[in-house]
Structures are given as C-alpha cells and as structure tokens.
Amino acid sequence: MEEKIDETDLNILKELRTDCKQPLKELAQKLKIHPNTLMQRIKRLENLKIIRSYQADIDYEKLGYDMHAIAMIRIRRRGLEKKTLFKHVLGLPEVEGLYAVTGIADCMAVVKTKGRDDLLRVLKEIQTDEDVLRTTTYLVLDTYKDSRKFNPIK
C-alpha cells in the first residue's frame, strides 16, 4: 500500500529543505501543528526514505575548489548497460555528480577541483575508461542557481 503524502507533509518537507536545523518547536509553531505530531511525521518521512539525509551546505570555493566544470562524455555503444561503467570515476572525490543523459553525449560528470592542473588530472582519469570515446568539457563561469536551491514544493 502506498503511503499518502498530504499538504502538511509537503509543508514540512519544504521547510526542512529551506532550513533543516531550525528548532522543531519553532517549525511546529510555523506549521501550526503540535511538536509531537511534527516529530512523528518527520520520522514517518524518514522511514519512507522521502527524507534521505540531513547535510551541511559547504562552500567548497572557500576551501580552494574554485574550478567547476561539466564534462560531457561519449561512450562506446551499449556501454551504459555495463555494471562496471565508470566505477573508477565514481570513486573520484572531485566528481560531484555523474548522470546518464540524452543528446550528443551519453553521460555528464559535474566536477569541482582546485585549479586547472587538478581538472586536467580528473579529465584524464575519466578518459582512461575503456568505454569512453571522448569528452567535451565546459567550464562553469558563474552559478545563478544550484541544486541546493531546488525546492519545487509549493
């Protein structure tokens, strides 16, 4: 049986996405529900794996990761079906995300490094995969909105 997510659940998710460190008492007041009800609903959302984790929002640029790039990757035919595809790439700490995509490229890697030399090293590592035909890399010059600001719940 599929669990129903109601308006209150959506409001809880929206508030937690905006600020997951706000005190439960304040959040309960804001949402006009009892703190115990709020805690029960949050636990239920965690058990349903709708809330998967709570994370710190780290400014990696302040730690020196000022080179942000998107590498579009073309692979050999049927490469996406291989279980080991990009196994070593997923282990690279500089790879922030790896996605299968449609279009001219087959995959997209989001990479953050500490400068040009680091970026070149990571791209060479990606290109060592036997199924990679070529990469096309785009440098990110500015960010107007990133995934941390994604909150479509109304």
Domain ranges of the chain: 7-47, 60-139
* Average per-residue pLDDT for the chain: 90
Q: What is the pLDDT of residue 154?
A: 72
Question: In terms of CATH architecture, what is 7-47?
Answer: Orthogonal Bundle (1.10)
Q: Tokens standing for 29?
A: 């007041």
Whether domain 60-139 has CATH 3.30.70.920: the reply is yes
Cα–Cα dist 67/119, whole Å: 7
pLDDT tens digits for range 67-106: 999 999 998 876 667 777 778 888 899 999 999 899 999 9
Q: Tokens standing for 136?
A: 């096309």
Query: Residue 45: CA atoms inside 13 Å, Cβ hemisphere, count?
Result: 22
H runs (alpha helix) in 33-127? 35-47, 87-90, 116-127
Cα–Cα dist 46/43, whole Å: 5
pLDDT tens digits for range 107-125: 999 999 999 999 999 999 9
Matching residue, tokens 């809880």? 12
